[in-house]
Amino acid sequence: GAVVSQHPSRVICKSGTSVKIECRSLDFQATTMFWYRQFPKQSLMLMATSNEGSKATYEQGVEKDKFLINHASLTLSTLTVTSAHPEDSSFYICSASPGGGPLTTGELFFGEGSRLTVL
């Protein structure tokens, strides 16, 4: 199946610094990628939809100035957590689909996830 890769898999940073997480589709082009946040022992919460060449669409309650998303190419989306604080510590997961445009049977491929710890 299609491969989505995230980097870094783990990152520890000091409070107040910014952290960038990359999400790459390795063997397909993705006009749309998704960013999720997962709290311990909980489900995935969709944070935003990353659109290549345009602004990301954020879900209600997600601070767009806090979580900057850039989708610079058809194979790369980045999530930057700005001025990180301990409450931002979480597992961040991205996903993408090889399909372009709406499909009736969408299948998403997920990255390995990135664990952020803010001290």
Give the interface with other proteins as residue ranges (CB under 8 A): 1, 4, 6, 32, 34, 41-44, 46, 49, 93, 95, 97, 99, 102-113, 115
Q: How far apart are CA 24 and CA 29, in angstroms?
A: 9
Q: How far is the CB of 16 from other proteins (least distance, A)?
A: 27
Considering the complex, state which of residue 81 and residue 95 has its C-beta at the smaller distance from other proteins: 95
Q: Are 46 and 34 in contact (CB under 8 A)?
A: yes
Pick the closer one to other proteins by CB: 87 or 105. Answer: 105
Give residues with Cβ within 8 angstroms of 15, minimum separation 6. Answer: 84, 85, 86, 118, 119
CB of 3 to other proteins, least distance (A): 11
Helix (H, G, I), strand (E, B) or coil at 88: helix
Q: Which is nearer to other proteins, 82 or 89 (CB)?
A: 89
Whichever of 61 and 102 has its CB closer to other proteins, that residue is 102
d(CA 37, CA 63): 13
